[in-house]
Amino acid sequence: MPESSSPDRSSEWTVPEGLDAQALERLFELDPDGSNKLVERVIEAYLKSLDRLLPDLQQARAPEMDLNVVRHVSHTLKSSSASLGALKASALCAEVELMARNGETGGLAAKLDDMLAELAQVKQALSTMRMPGPQ
């Protein structure tokens, strides 16, 4: 009798440059045959989260920095970015969160610019990530 195993769907995806394939692989392991569309749903939720939170972050910058909003948004995006393999974005979110928590405004605007630029790249990469065809 042949050994029954779930197909490895991760090889059917094109992982964009800048995302950690191992982090995405962990998501695939939770839904190996793709029947629950877990990876697709996580990506969609993350992209919606970016669309909802990034305008809040932009608004928190002017005219005076609202450190509570900056801390909240960066904290929220830190772990969700890491779970999708956006490790650089996650690290930048962690730095911004720490600066906001500690009230460090010197250099915060530049660090926010770095974080926003990286998140824009992540958003583009995830938006263009090639999904596998029907099984």
**Reported pTM:** 0.83
Q: Give the Cβ contact number of residue 95 at 10 Å.
A: 19
pLDDT tens-digit profile of 108-119?
999 999 999 999
Please name the residues in contact with 77: beta carbons below 8 A apart, sequence gap of 6 or more. 49, 50, 53, 89, 90, 93, 119
- Which residue from 90, 101, 94 is spatially nearest to 65, judged by alpha carbons? 101
pLDDT tens-digit profile of 56-115?
998 998 778 999 999 999 999 999 999 999 999 999 999 999 999 999 999 999 999 999
Q: What's the whole-number average pLDDT of the chain?
A: 86
pLDDT (0 to 100) of residue 131? 56
Q: How many domains does the chain have?
A: 1
Q: Give the Cβ contact number of residue 33 at 10 Å.
A: 12
Residue 4 lies in a domain: no
Residue 90 lies in a domain: yes
- Which residue from 62, 70, 76 is spatially nearest to 104, judged by alpha carbons? 70
Residue 10 lies in a domain: no
- Which residue from 31, 56, 55, 52 is spatially nearest to 41, judged by alpha carbons? 31
Residue 13 lies in a domain: no
What CATH number is associated with residue 108?
Answer: 1.20.120.160
